[in-house]
Amino acid sequence: MTTTLLDTPKGIVEFSYKGIGPTVLLLKGGHSTRETDLSHSSLVYEGYSLLSISRPGYDYTEPSTGKTPEAFAETIVDVLDHLNIKTVNVIAISAGGPTAIALAANHPTRVDKLILEAALTSPWEKRKKQQAKLLFGPVEKAVWGGLHTMLKLFPDLVMKQLLSEMTTENVEDYLNELSPNDRRFIYDMLATSQSGKGFVLDLDHTVTDMTKIQAPVLGMYSQKDKSVLYTNALLLKSKIPHSEVFEVNADSHLIWIGKDAKQVWNKRLEFLSQA
C-alpha cells in the first residue's frame, strides 16, 4: 500500500488515502500496521474513500504526535486540514477506540458518524496492562520476531496461543471450527502485526467524556470477546443513549470473521449510508 508521511507541528504522521467518495477515517487497533487489513480496505469498492492514519508509535508515525488520545485527535485534524477534508466518518478498532472518541467528542464538526468495532470505551485493566508492558515494551521486536518465525513453522500452535486471549470459548474448538478463509485471515493478521512503540502508549490511554459526542454512534461487540469485554458496549450505551449497539454473534474479539461476518459488513454499510 502506498503511504504518505506528513510533517505536522508535532512530528511525522503516516497515512494512506485512496478511493473516491465520502471519506472514512480508519483508526486501527493495537499491534496493527499499515499492512494489517481486517477487511476494511474493501470500503473503496463500496463508494468510499479510505483514510488510514497510523496512530502514534505505529509504522512511521512518531510518538510525539500524540501520546494521549486527545493530543493525537488534534494531529488528526491537522491531517484532515492538509487534505482539505471537512468531515469524516470514523471507524475505530479495538485499542483505537479512545482516539476516535476523543476526536468525536472534542471536534464534533469534523465527525459525521462514529463506528466502534470491538473498540475500547474504557481504560485497560491493571493486570492486562502489566502483562502487556512486559511483552511489548523494550523486547517487543524480539517477541514479534519469534512469533513471526514460529507462525511460519507452527501456525496452529501460535494461533492457538494468541487466540486464547481473544475468546471465552474453548480455543481448540474455536480454531477447529474456523473456515480456511478465516484461518487465513488470522494468519495474515498475525503475520503483519508489530507493536512498535505504539502499544505501550495505548496501554496508558484514558477515555474522553463520551457524553460530549453528538454524532450518531454504532458499536459492534461480541459477548464472547475476552480481549475487549462486552462491558465496553454497555458503557457506551449508558454514556451515549442515542448510540446503537449491535451484538455480533462472533466467538471471539475477531468480529470480522465467522458466521456473522457478513452481517457486520452489512450493518456497517447500512449505518454509513444513513442520511
Q: What is the CATH number of the domain that holds 12?
A: 3.40.50.1820
Show the domain range for 31.
4-125+197-273
Beta-carbon contacts of 39 under 8 Å, excluding residues fewer than 6 positions away, are 185, 256, 261, 265
Q: Strands across the sheet with 49-53, in order? A: 4-8, 11-18, 49-53, 23-27, 88-93, 111-117, 217-222, 244-248
Q: 55 lies in a domain?
A: yes
Best CA proximity match to 252, nearest among 261, 240, 244: 261
SS3 string, 174-226, reads: HHHCCCHHHHHHHHHHHHCCCCCCHHHHHHCCCCCCHHHCCCCEEEEEECCEC
The pLDDT, as a whole number, for residue 131 is 84
Q: 120 lies in a domain?
A: yes
What phi and psi, each to the nearest 5 degrees, are found at residue 13?
Answer: -125, 135
Taking a C-beta distance cutoff of 8 angstroms, is the pair 196, 59 a contact?
A: yes
Domains of the chain: total? 1
For 232: left if phi > 0, alpha if psi spans -120 to 50, otherwise beta; the answer is alpha
The pLDDT, as a whole number, for residue 1 is 60
Q: 188 lies in a domain?
A: no
| 129, containing H or E segment | helix 126-136
Taking a C-beta distance cutoff of 8 angstroms, is the pair 235, 211 a contact?
A: no
The pLDDT, as a whole number, for residue 154 is 97
Tell me how far the alpha carbon of residue 129 is from its chain's centroid: 18
Q: 187 lies in a domain?
A: no
Which residues in the chain belong to E strands, given as ranges? 4-8, 11-18, 23-27, 49-53, 88-93, 111-117, 217-222, 244-248
Report the alpha-carbon distance of residue 191 to residue 179 in Å, rounded.
18
Taking a C-beta distance cutoff of 8 angstroms, is the pair 179, 206 a contact?
A: no
Report the alpha-carbon distance of residue 181 to residue 229 in Å, rounded.
25
Q: 71 lies in a domain?
A: yes
Report the alpha-carbon distance of residue 202 to residue 84 in Å, rounded.
28
The pLDDT, as a whole number, for residue 62 is 98
CB atoms inside a 10 Å sphere around CB 195:
23
Best CA proximity match to 191, nearest among 139, 155, 165: 155
Q: 268 lies in a domain?
A: yes
pLDDT in tens, the chain (275 residues): 689 999 999 999 999 999 999 999 999 999 999 999 999 999 999 999 999 999 999 999 999 999 999 999 999 999 999 999 999 999 999 999 999 999 999 999 999 999 999 999 999 988 888 888 888 989 999 999 999 999 999 999 999 999 999 999 999 999 999 999 999 999 999 999 999 999 999 999 999 999 999 999 999 999 999 999 999 999 999 999 999 999 999 999 999 999 899 999 999 999 999 98
Q: 182 lies in a domain?
A: no
Q: 88 lies in a domain?
A: yes
